[in-house]
Amino acid sequence: FWLKCPPFVADPYTEPSFSSDLVVFVAMEAAQDDQHQDLTLFVQNLLKEMQGRFTTMSDSIINRIDDMGSRIDDLEKSISELIQEAGVEGEPGSSTSASRGPS
């Protein structure tokens, strides 16, 4: 008698209930599907958040690069103005060897 019972039946005196096993199996599948959907939503939200952060950081870096470019342009303009004010640019006889005197 013990050998005739299927291995999944705990009590050998009860009839195996395939319909209850099927219900449990379907419920487990539904729970796994819910878990998969929850995981998928979590990953999608995480990716959206990361994309938003990346966009923010990228915009910040681009703004800083633009600001540095403007500062360099202003610096070049200031240096050019200082050179012109000092009279170093293009004047004949203003070379440093002429101001030292004869050697």
Query: Is residue 70 within 8 Å of residue 76, measured between CB atoms?
Result: no
* Max Cα–Cα distance, the chain, nearest Å: 128
Q: Which residue has the tokens 């030292």?
A: 100
Task: Identify the pLDDT of residue 44.
Answer: 96
Q: Is 11 helix (H, G, I), strand (E, B) or coil?
A: coil
Task: Identify the pLDDT of residue 2.
Answer: 47
Task: Identify the pLDDT of residue 34.
Answer: 82
Counting as low any pLDDT under 70, the low residues of the chain are: 1-23, 25, 88-103
Cα three-residue angle 26-29-34, rounded to 5 degrees: 125
CB atoms closer than 10 angstroms to residue 73: 10
Task: Identify the pLDDT of residue 16.
Answer: 52
Task: Identify the pLDDT of residue 33.
Answer: 81
| Conformation bin of residue 87: beta by default, left when phi > 0, alpha when psi is -120 to 50 | left
